Amino acid sequence: MQLRSRITLAAAFFLLAPVVLFFLIDLMRDRFIASSFVERQFEDDQPFVEGFVREAQLRLEAPASEIQAILPGEQIPRSFLDPDTGSLVYEPWTTMQFRLEQIAENHAGLSFGLFDRDGQLLVSVGEDVDLLAQGYDGTNRSYANGISPNTDSFMVRRTMRTLRGLYVYVGALPVDEFIGNISDSVGEPVALIQRAIIENPAGVRPQDQARSGAIERAGVGLPKATTAAPNRYENAVVFWDAVKDSALASEPRRYFTVSVGEHRGIVTEIRVEVLTPMRDEGVFVRLVRNRTLAAIREEKQNRLVYGGFAVLILVSVVLLLWFFNRSFRPLTDLIEALRALARHDFEYRIPHTNRRDELGALARGLTDFRSSLVDRERLVLLKEQMEFAAQIQRSILPHSFNVADFASIDAITKPAEDVGGDFFDVFTLANGNAGIVVADVADKGMGSALFGALASSLTRATARLYNDPGRVLGAVNKQLCERNEADLFVTLFYGVMDRNSGELVYSNAGHEPPLLLHRDEVSGTMQVERTPTTQGLPLGLVPDAQFESRSVTMRPTDNLVLFTDGITEAEDAENRLFSSAALNALLRRQSSNVPSDIISSVLQNVRDFTGEQPQSDDITLMVVRYDGVPTQQSADHKDDQESRESPKLRVVGNT
């Protein structure tokens, strides 16, 4: 199957899938109604119903306060024991009867009763006095709210203690008045029921399900018609007659939905406390909301939406077929361009780069990819050239130090890049003395390496013409200035060591002064001295610069340490420098005077200091030990030993 066919089928699938999903949701809407909406309705209804309960309680506060105020002033009625029944009989409490009747006139709909501790009614006012005594056993002398189990009255009972164990009960509101207020407020049918309580309806056991089937209905309230909505009562009656069986069905849940014919509804169930609370019995208010018109509107809207979706999908599929057939034509050209790049044909013209769509972006991406391939080819070529240059640079440096039988020499160089600007050289002069060169070209990289190679060659050639190191550097400086179009310069130390006396005559062109190591004969400690500096600028700056020569005398076993600033200026992670002071302290702690040991110790300490930090500059280190004038036998022995050992020179580079 071609790519365009697969993409067309995938697009059609993703376009049709939402429509099919919407149809499935519509078919199962009654079963999978949006629970979040119903739950929010329940959360709104719960405080709403609790508000009516609190309103009924507050309705009793005023008469209860009035009765509480008159009780202390009432005289205690006399009582006598009935010889026939053995009960305590009070004389008629006519004053209290009169007082309660006066209070009842100001609070219509309430009933009052005076009882003794045995539950005997002494004084009564109102029609629902008998309800006040229900559930009273002589011990529950606090107020209780709820529904009387065997009547249809909503009970808010408040108990106040009088003298000699007499109690006044205030309460009793009819159910039709209580739920009627709620129904008029919400404009929907309201039912008051009593049923078993099941706390975990999701895991209802069969025996619990059977118990929950018994629902006792205490009353139903329907909203009254108003001037603004005269047909509200009629609509509520029609809706209630249609769904009452489903609305009063056993559903041990806080909220559920009903669907009878074309009628749709949402039922939320709010629990209220019963008169005598039981652990597994409860009284609930069910608010039944009519969602019929809203459901019909939603169904019509869904049909319109689904139909529109279907038409849109058909049109979209046709347009997709046309669009894909047109859009995939340039892919053949781009595939051919990819094949050309695979053949390394970088001259092939990539088409469609001016398009402003995805194919144009792909064409421009291929153009960038071709450029990156060309750059990569150039980079590989440059890398090969750099490796070749590094190989040439290593070949320029001396490979062994068999130039002097009176000195032991060891050296190492570590360029920061493939090639570096540091270099050193050791060679034998015509008179048998040894020439020593250590230099550092400004900057690093290929340019510095080439400039360093030129300076090294000029120094080696000029050293055979003049004995004075200062004159040698002057001649080299003049030649470098004549050929220095890149404005580079090099710091260079050149010294000549006399084989017989150990005298080192040197000239310094702005380079780091070497350090002279010798062991104190008295204390036995290692002493580090900085060689005196000489007058002279770096080579390649001023053509007529003058260079001064000086000398130091080395005793046998003395070491001369020559280095570049790559050691003293090595940085750690906090950009701190290794410093000359640290190098001096390190050299003072040296116990060995073997050049290779000194070099290894210095490099190890520099590595420990820098840690994981990358090398920022070229590093060169040379150690020269004067061994004194050799005898013929020792010289022959030394030559034989050096012929069997590996060269002392070590060059470390990025190969």
Segment of 141-150, 284-293, 386-395, 614-623 carrying the highest mean pLDDT: 614-623
The yes-or-no verdict on residue 211 having pLDDT over 80 is: no
Residue corresponding to tokens 């995938």: 10
Picking from 588, 584, 582, 580, the residue whose alpha carbon sits closest to that of residue 608 is 582
CA distance 27 to 19: 12
> CATH 1.10.8.500 spans which residues of the chain?
329-378
* Backbone region of residue 639 per phi and psi (left: phi > 0; alpha: psi in -120 to 50; beta: other values): alpha
The yes-or-no verdict on residue 163 having pLDDT over 60 is: no
Mean pLDDT of the chain: 77
The yes-or-no verdict on residue 277 having pLDDT over 80 is: no
The yes-or-no verdict on residue 652 having pLDDT over 60 is: no
Neighbours of 546 (CB within 10 A): 13
- Say how many Å lie between the first and final Cα of the chain, rounded: 51
Q: How confident is the model at residue 338 (pLDDT cuts 50, 70, 90)?
A: confident
Residue 458 Cα distances to 114, 392, 396, 415, 465, angstroms: 131, 17, 13, 22, 11
3-state secondary structure 347-384: CCCCCCCCCCCHHHHHHHHHHHHHHHHHHHHHHHHHHH
Selected residue with higher pLDDT from 655 and 76? 76
Six token digits for residue 582: 């640290």
| Domain 61-109+111-171 top-level CATH class | alpha beta
Selected residue with higher pLDDT from 15 and 428? 428
Report CA torsion sign: 193, 199, 203, 206. Answer: negative
**CATH tag for 329-378 (out of 3.20.20.150, 1.10.8.500, 3.40.605.10, 3.30.360.10):** 1.10.8.500
> CATH 3.60.40.10 spans which residues of the chain?
398-651
Please give the average per-residue pLDDT across 215-232, as a whole number: 82
- Which pLDDT does position 16 carry in this prediction? 67
Neighbours of 603 (CB within 10 A): 17
pLDDT digits (tens, 9 = 90+) for 538-597: 999 999 999 999 999 999 999 999 999 889 989 988 889 999 999 999 999 988 889 999
Q: How confident is the model at residue 257 (pLDDT cuts 50, 70, 90)?
A: confident
CA distance 562 to 511: 10
Q: How confident is the model at residue 141 (pLDDT cuts 50, 70, 90)?
A: very low
CA distance 113 to 111: 7
Please give the average per-residue pLDDT across 143-165, as a whole number: 54
Q: How confident is the model at residue 370 (pLDDT cuts 50, 70, 90)?
A: confident
E strand map for 429-522: 434-441, 490-497, 503-509, 515-519
Q: How confident is the model at residue 642 (pLDDT cuts 50, 70, 90)?
A: very low
The yes-or-no verdict on residue 143 having pLDDT over 50 is: no
Question: Which SS3 state, helix, strand or coil, does residue 40 take?
Answer: helix
Selected residue with higher pLDDT from 181 and 71? 181
Question: Are 257 and 30 in contact, with CB atoms under 8 Å apart?
Answer: yes
Picking from 488, 552, 478, the residue whose alpha carbon sits closest to that of residue 515 is 552
Q: Counting Cβ atoms within 10 Å, is residue 415 exposed (0-12), middle (13-18) or buried (19+)?
A: buried
Cβ neighbours for 4, distance < 8 A, ≥ 6 positions apart: 324, 325, 328
Give percent of the chain above pLDDT 70: 70
Segment of 367-376, 443-452, 618-627 carrying the highest mean pLDDT: 618-627
State the DSSP code for 539.
Answer: B
Using DSSP bridges, classify how beta strands 407-414 and 649-651 pair: parallel, antiparallel or unpaired.
Answer: parallel
Q: How many helices (H) and strands (E) does the chain have?
A: 17, 24
- Which pLDDT does position 139 carry in this prediction? 52
CATH of domain 398-651: 3.60.40.10
Beta bridge partners of 286: 191, 269
